[in-house]
Amino acid sequence: MSTPNRFKVTVVGSGNWGTTTAKIVAENVAIHTNVFDPEVRMWVFEEVLDGEKLSEIINTRHENIKYLPGVKLPSNLIAVPDLVSAVEGSQLLVFNVPHQFLSRICKQLKGHISSKVRAISCLKGLEVDDQGVRLLSDYITGELGIHCGVLSGANLAPEVALEKYSETTIAYPLPENHYPGDATGETWQMLFHRPYFHVRVVNDIAGVSIAGALKNVVALAAGFVEGKGWGENAKAAIMRRGIIEMIKFCKIFFNKNEIETFTQESAGIADLITTCAAGRNVRVGSEMARSGRSVEEVEAELLNGQSAQGMVTAKEIHSLLENKGLLDEFPLLEITYQMAFNGYDIDNLPAFFEKIR
Amino acid sequence: MSTPNRFKVTVVGSGNWGTTTAKIVAENVAIHTNVFDPEVRMWVFEEVLDGEKLSEIINTRHENIKYLPGVKLPSNLIAVPDLVSAVEGSQLLVFNVPHQFLSRICKQLKGHISSKVRAISCLKGLEVDDQGVRLLSDYITGELGIHCGVLSGANLAPEVALEKYSETTIAYPLPENHYPGDATGETWQMLFHRPYFHVRVVNDIAGVSIAGALKNVVALAAGFVEGKGWGENAKAAIMRRGIIEMIKFCKIFFNKNEIETFTQESAGIADLITTCAAGRNVRVGSEMARSGRSVEEVEAELLNGQSAQGMVTAKEIHSLLENKGLLDEFPLLEITYQMAFNGYDIDNLPAFFEKIR
């Protein structure tokens, strides 16, 4: 049976979350063979491990021994170390790299991608500069000229990789230049929905992106409180204020007010809960508060030298709010920055909240 | 200086949460002596411990050694074993007993309380019978003829007792028969707000009550999932669905739709988070799922023979929904009942959620 118009898919990124999403996608294209090309490519930043190339290890042993050890990958998932070859001919791209690599990747891809290509960003973060703030999906659209949605949810990667039940949210409104045969929200749902990974599709790209970015700052604050031994009530109070400021951030900077994204979707409240329960940022914040050690020391110990995204985002948000004269509007985000970078004493938090209630 | 119209306060109940709220109230009346009578009475269900009466222990040693050991109580907090004497002459009553004692207490108090008295209920639960469902505060109003608000929040009692930072929500709309000098939301806030216990006052009694009751069912489900080892993503997914069904329950049964109560107040999302992190019900559910033991065995081991409120509430909600033909509208609440009482296999949960998405 000929199926000429099947979507070819590439996952750009192969960290633990990148590899996990590539596994999911590869499982699904093998089922929905009338919709997708049955081979999925994953761009791998090449590394040599004990004399062997990581891409070759993945392609022969079907395991990403560096970033997702112990998890069997589907054999229709092909690691490709050259970025441009990896995306060549693909209609659907899944971006899943750390935020700091995005700009270089876009530069490399520029000119190699048709405007008919569609993308989903799994990145967490925001693009902040002197002009203001931009969503990473908008950044991708700006750099590559392709429509880009987002995927975010209560998705601790190690749990999803082990096929423990999770939910996620995909935001994918149709683009203005939608064409016959073009991908829709349903296409992306088919690509990601698994019996252990349930997908809901919404239109609110800003809400999903902002929840995914700001949760890391809130988790840092939750960690500070946890590390001080304040308990679950205080942690929940931080999260409650976090949700409120996320909603406000979305409204002020993106003029969007779909609060259901935050209160009812996995990308909102559920992701915040998961992230504050066991994510990297809460662990870093907790250990900083407990031990009094610097973020660098704690990151070196807990994250193998990787960085806690919440620290970066807290700093960016602070400079954004300062530029815009809006520090007072986001007391939790700002006080988290002050605790993280300026030695603001966490013990003052209750008195601070008293003042701003 | 004469202060003739000061509110006299009685706390009805002296379990761990009852004693903790009595401590808070006693601390506050000692500060706001122009508003409150400086002595607070606490009704104690009398018990004899090693030959000594609990009420006498509390009044001499200023410690509830049975239900809140290790926490010093203010000396202006007076334990009174006779219920009617305890409330005599008080204008403000704080009800804080286990749900199952409420009916007997109301019977004893009937006829001894002026209709000018005001109350706050700290109870968790709902009154379900063949007619339908009633809030406990409405039950108190019905039995005693007094206006009654509610207090609920992310308040694990042991943490609040140790003065770890917490927030709470008081719902207290003014009654129709409000009179000059009558208590207001501000009065209750003054009575409960502490540097370590921040109070926000709202009008939505139904929302605050329902969140406080249903969270225990959701926590049971979160416990089942936790006990199966499914991880944080799955637990957060349960909580996300829980919030949605709480909001729906409030709308269908009480025709109220103030979703901010659930999404922005301590009594809503924050309490659910705290309860699912470390409350009794999540611990019981988790241990049941882990060990396969019966609820009775687990309660005996974990709760000193006290019961997990979520089990009782799950059963009541099930019979309510069945009566009203609404089982399909609340899939999480119903499946939790089935898992708790009818041996529904937790492993079927993802497939179940798939069907109802």
ipTM of model: 0.96
Nearest to B44 by CA among B69, B5, B11, B21: B11
Distance from CA of A76 to the nearest CA of B (A): 26
Helices of type H across chain B: 16-31, 54-61, 83-87, 102-109, 136-144, 157-161, 185-192, 205-227, 232-254, 259-264, 271-278, 280-291, 295-302, 309-324, 331-341, 349-356
Known binding residue A121? Answer is no
Known binding residue B14? Answer is yes
Nearest residue on chain A to B160, alpha-carbon basis? A233
Q: How far is CA A138 from CA A127, A145, A179, in A?
A: 9, 10, 20
CATH of A206-356 among 3.30.9.80, 3.40.228.10, 1.10.1040.10, 3.20.20.60: 1.10.1040.10
The residue among B232, B248, B259, B356 with the most chain A CBs within 10 A of its CB, best to mutate, is B232
How big, in percent rounded to 5, are the helix, strand and coil portions of chain A?
55, 15, 30
pLDDT value for B4:
56
Say if residue B85's pLDDT is above 80: yes
Chain A residues in contact with B265 by the CB 8 A cut-off are 240
Residues A228 and A291: their CA atoms lie apart, in Å, by 9
Contacts of B181 (CB under 8 A, 6+ apart): B5
Residues A316 and A217: their CA atoms lie apart, in Å, by 11
Q: pLDDT tens across A1-43, in order? A: 444 579 999 999 999 999 999 999 999 999 999 999 999 999 9
Instruction: Look at A233 and B166 and tell me if their CB atoms are within 8 Å.
Output: yes
How many residues make up chain B in this entry?
A: 357
Candidate list B8, B72, B164, B215, residue with the active-site label: B215
- What type of residue is B9? V
Nearest to B176 by CA among B146, B206, B200, B202: B146
Encoding tokens for residue B221?
A: 């489900």
Any idea which residues of A carry the catalytic annotation? 215
Encoding tokens for residue A345?
A: 């004493």
Residues A234 and B289: their CA atoms lie apart, in Å, by 28
Known binding residue A76? Answer is no
**Could you tell me if residue A4 is left (phi over 0), alpha (psi between -120 and 50 degrees) or otherwise beta?**
alpha
Look at the domain B7-203 and name its fold. Answer: Rossmann fold (3.40.50)
Q: What are the domain boundaries of chain A?
A: 7-203, 206-356
Distance from CA of A190 to the nearest CA of B (A): 13
Distance from CA of A173 to the nearest CA of B (A): 20
Q: What does the DSSP 8-state code read for residue A10?
A: E
How many residues make up chain A in this entry?
A: 357
User: Same topology for domains A7-203 and A206-356, yes or no?
Assistant: no
Nearest residue on chain A to B356, alpha-carbon basis? A198
Across B26-34, average pLDDT: 98
Residues A19 and A30: their CA atoms lie apart, in Å, by 17
Q: Of B154, B273, B354, which has the smallest distance from its Cβ to A198's Cβ?
A: B354
Q: pLDDT tens across B198-239, in order? A: 999 999 999 999 999 999 999 999 999 999 999 999 999 999
- What type of residue is B178? H
The chain-wide mean pLDDT, for chain A, equals: 95
pLDDT value for A307:
79
pLDDT value for A29:
98
